[in-house]
């Protein structure tokens, strides 16, 4: 049973890392494509903000998988020290998730005035 939980812990943690890695790769390629368009004179402010939101979403999802893995990992080693370490990790990742989510909600405005009150089409 403990061995199965250990493999589950590793698997879920790897899924979290894979989600973050996949998001970084996708957004990096889309950003490169957008930047080449900018060199051709296209305005990419809204596209760049959308890319930031997409990357933030991948980061948040990956962090959630990592938190789940840490919870399962603590089940296999339930000492006070391990529970305290898990609590610290969860607090730090929750704070990171909160601020990423908040930044994604607040970062819609571009330097060229694009935003909900002044959209650029």
Alpha-carbon distance of 90 to 83, in angstroms, equals: 10
pLDDT at position 49, please?
A: 84
Grade residue 103 by pLDDT with cuts at 50, 70 and 90.
confident
Q: Give me the residue spans of the domains in the chain.
A: 2-106
Sign of CA pseudo-dihedral 90, 94, 97, 99:
negative
Of 23, 10, 15, nearest to 70 by C-alpha is 10
Q: Which alpha helices (DSSP H) does the chain contain, by range? A: 2-39, 45-76, 80-106
Tell me what pLDDT residue 72 has: 86
pLDDT tens track for 9-24: 999 999 999 999 999 9
Rounded CA-CA distance 47/29 in Å is 13
Question: Buried b / exposed e across 35-52, counting CB within 10 Å, b at 16+?
Answer: eeeeeeeeebbbbbbebb
Note the pLDDT tens digit of each residue in 27-80.
Answer: 999 999 999 888 888 888 888 888 988 998 898 899 889 888 888 888 877 788
**pLDDT recorded at residue 99:** 82
Q: What is the pTM of this model?
A: 0.73
Rounded Cα gap, residues 112 and 67, in angstroms: 38
CB contact set of 34 (below 8 Å; sequence gap of 6+) = 44, 47, 48, 51
**pLDDT the model gives residue 58:** 93
Please check the confidence at residue 83 and state whether its pLDDT lies above 90. no
């Amino acid at each position: 049973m403990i061995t199965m939980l250990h493999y589950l812990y590793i698997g879920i943690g790897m899924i979290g890392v894979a989600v973050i890695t996949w998001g970084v790769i996708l957004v990096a390629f889309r950003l490169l494509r957008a930047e080449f368009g900018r060199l051709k004179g296209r305005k990419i402010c809204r596209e760049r903000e959308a890319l930031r939101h997409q990357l933030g979403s991948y980061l948040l999802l990956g962090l959630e998988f990592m938190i789940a893995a840490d919870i399962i990992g603590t089940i296999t080693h339930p000492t006070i020290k391990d529970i305290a370490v898990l609590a610290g990790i969860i607090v730090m990742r929750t704070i990171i998730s909160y601020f990423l989510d908040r930044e994604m909600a607040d970062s819609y405005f571009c330097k060229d005035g694009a935003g909900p009150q002044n959209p650029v089409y």
